[in-house]
Chains A and B, each alone.
Chain A
Amino acid sequence: LTPRDRVLAAFDHREPDRVPVDMGGSVASIERPAYVNLKKYLGLLWRGEKVDGIGIMETLDDEILRMFNVDFRRVIMKPPKNWIEKRYADGIRENEWGVRFKQIGYYWEWIWYTPLGDIEDKDQIEDHTWPDLGALGRVEGLEKEARDLESAGWAVSTAPIFGGIFEIAWWLRGFNKFIVDLYTRPELASALMEKITDTYIGLYDQYLGAVGDHVQMVMFTDDLGAQTQMLVPPSLYRKYLKPCHKRLFDFIHSKTDARVFLHCCGSIDPVINDLIEIGVDVLNPVQPLAAGMESEVLKRNYGDRLTFHGGVDIQRALALGTIQEIDYEVRRRMKAFAPGGGYIFAPAHNIQPEIPAEKIVALYKAAEKYGCYPVT
């Protein structure tokens, strides 16, 4: 059984030999400080692994991926050839979307630079500098990379290009302002989200044009949930954001047979049926401590229509738990999600900076121990 067969079985809701494992892709990966410690702990040399624009490991040592039985490998879209990241004082960096980040403490955070904060009219949205869809070099060499990984038997996945439609909208506009737009200036809010959707469709057109025939999973991220509830009412999600998500996911499905993976943090149970309806096949991170996101309940309610990806608590078990508690946590999530297939094992978000290497090793060891079918 190749890793790809294993993953495809899980997607088809059949039980392979064991639960497939994932690590990588900017939301199921590892923060740089934890990765550096892990490599030291395992006695591995640095092999030029890449860190993404916000401090998360973009590429990982293949030796670690093999040690942890990771079934996925990723093909990552590149920035355009002639594009130079803008840098400002205080270490501030600006990406292609005009969104600025700054490292504060461990994390690269969005800062209050809101280039669309003052616009009054939707026509002004076009004046912003958006990613250049005509730029060359984004997918250079990617098709071969994907083909090679495919013929080696890996399950191949894309990585998220950048943040979500909702996220980019408020990053550019300012959180409170964009929220108020949704209530009082729906035309402006919609036009902004449509523009972001159009841009993403242009980018996925290139990305999947190169790798679409060779990937099994396409990743997209858009956070809508907080710990105890959604950030916006489900009714607002349905009215404004859902049509954009649908248009994008329809496009992705038209370009590839791969499954659509959506990362959406927090408490989002009220819209899971909507997500299934608009073509989400794989839902991550199914954050277990968020309100209404109990693993057993999600499996019962949506398990026949969704593959769950993630699910292992990082807020308490991995952050504060002992090795034994991590072992228990993995066993519990396996039991909840794995029966009947439809589960990809991963921590329910990137492994955080201060997580010791022993715990990371224990996490994936436990996956090996409890992930063999039949899972009981």
Chain B
Amino acid sequence: VERATLLEEVQSCVVDLNMEGAVAAVQHALDNGVPSREILKEGLSRGLEKVGTKFEAGECYISDLIMVGEVMKASVAVLRSHWKGEVAEILGTIVLGTVEGDIHDIGKSVFATLAENAGFNVIDVGVDVSAERFLEVVKGRGPNILGLSALVTTTMTRMNEVIETMERAGLRRKLRVIAGGAPITDDYAKQVGADAGVNDAIKGLEICKGWMKRVDA
């Protein structure tokens, strides 16, 4: 079987949100000798990108993003069991959490799943996270990126608190900070001292990928 056809099959199962199909297609590609890294890059990730493009165009829904995250998880799990000596490419580390006073996490968990599948090491600290807790985790894990999430307009002000805490600890310069959540605009994010602000997970992922590219260069 043609390698391109096998990868195409993986891709289209991801786009169709077909979990069983994707797992089978990944297995089929592996059985035919396609290297796992290629399946991830040219099959799964390409499919994910297509879903992202559809979402940006309003052609698919938040539930589709959750589902594609699950399809990716199941497919990557198959790949992982075949990673013999191949080291997975880690784009960077993201520490992620919803700020204190807020427990909303649908967008954050979509972002976490997508970022993980895109090759980030994601440390999700959870919800209702205090500035001190963020500081503790950032100190301990040394991420490249800090992701702050909020849905409620009365809690998005807490983002500033977290960023100031990082500054006081001398850690702000080592970090890129991205703010995310339905009410967040890029302007607002910059006002509170973040580097970028987004109200959707796909855009957020693109920004984080862009930052890591620049770090490489």
Taking Cβ atoms with an 8 Å cutoff, the residues of A that contact B are 104-107, 109, 111, 175-176, 179-180, 182-184, 226-233, 236, 319, 353-354
Contacts and interface: CB of A to CB of B under 8 A. Distances in A.
B66 interface: yes
Contacts of B66: 175-176, 179-180
Nearest to B62: A231
B67 interface: yes
A111 B103 contact: yes
B64 A105 contact: no
A109 B103 contact: yes
Interface of B: 17, 19, 58, 60-64, 66-67, 70, 101-104, 106, 109, 128, 152-155, 182, 199-200
Nearest to B200: A228
A233 B61 contact: yes
A227 B154 contact: no
A100 B147 CA distance: 28
A175 B106 contact: yes
A230 B61 contact: yes
A233 B59 CA distance: 9
B70 A319 contact: no
B71 to A, nearest CB: 9
B61 A232 contact: yes
B152 A105 contact: yes
Given A105-B102, A179-B66, A236-B63, A226 B152 contact: no
18 contacts: A104-B102, A104-B128, A105-B102, A105-B152, A109-B103, A109-B104, A111-B103, A179-B63, A179-B67, A182-B63, A183-B17, A183-B19, A228-B200, A229-B58, A231-B62, A231-B63, A233-B60, A353-B154
Nearest to A236: B63
Closest 7 CB pairs of A and B: A105-B101, A232-B63, A179-B66, A179-B63, A183-B67, A233-B61, A109-B103
Given A182-B63, A233-B64, 13 more contacts: A104-B103, A105-B155, A106-B154, A107-B152, A109-B104, A180-B66, A183-B17, A226-B182, A227-B182, A231-B62, A231-B63, A319-B153, A353-B154
B67 A180 contact: yes
A200 B128 CA distance: 33
Contacts, number: 56
B97 to A, nearest CB: 14
B154 A354 contact: yes
A230 B55 CA distance: 12
The B interface, classified by DSSP as helix, strand, loop or mixed, is loop
B48 to A, nearest CB: 16
A43 B104 CA distance: 37
A229 B202 CA distance: 15
Nearest to B61: A233
Given A229-B62, A232-B63, A176 B109 contact: yes
Contacts of B154: 105-106, 353-354
A353 B66 CA distance: 32
A229 B200 CA distance: 12
Contacts of B60: 233
A250 to B, nearest CB: 26
B204 to A, nearest CB: 15
Contact of B62 (A106, A182, A226, A353): A226
Nearest to B153: A319
A229 B61 contact: yes
A176 B113 CA distance: 11
A182 B155 CA distance: 32
A63 to B, nearest CB: 29
A84 B101 CA distance: 28
Contacts of B153: 319
Contacts of B17: 183
A184 B18 CA distance: 9
B19 A184 contact: yes
Contacts of B63: 179, 182-183, 231-233, 236
A57 to B, nearest CB: 19
Contacts of B103: 104, 109, 111
A75 B178 CA distance: 47
A294 B37 CA distance: 47
A179 B19 CA distance: 13
Nearest to A226: B62
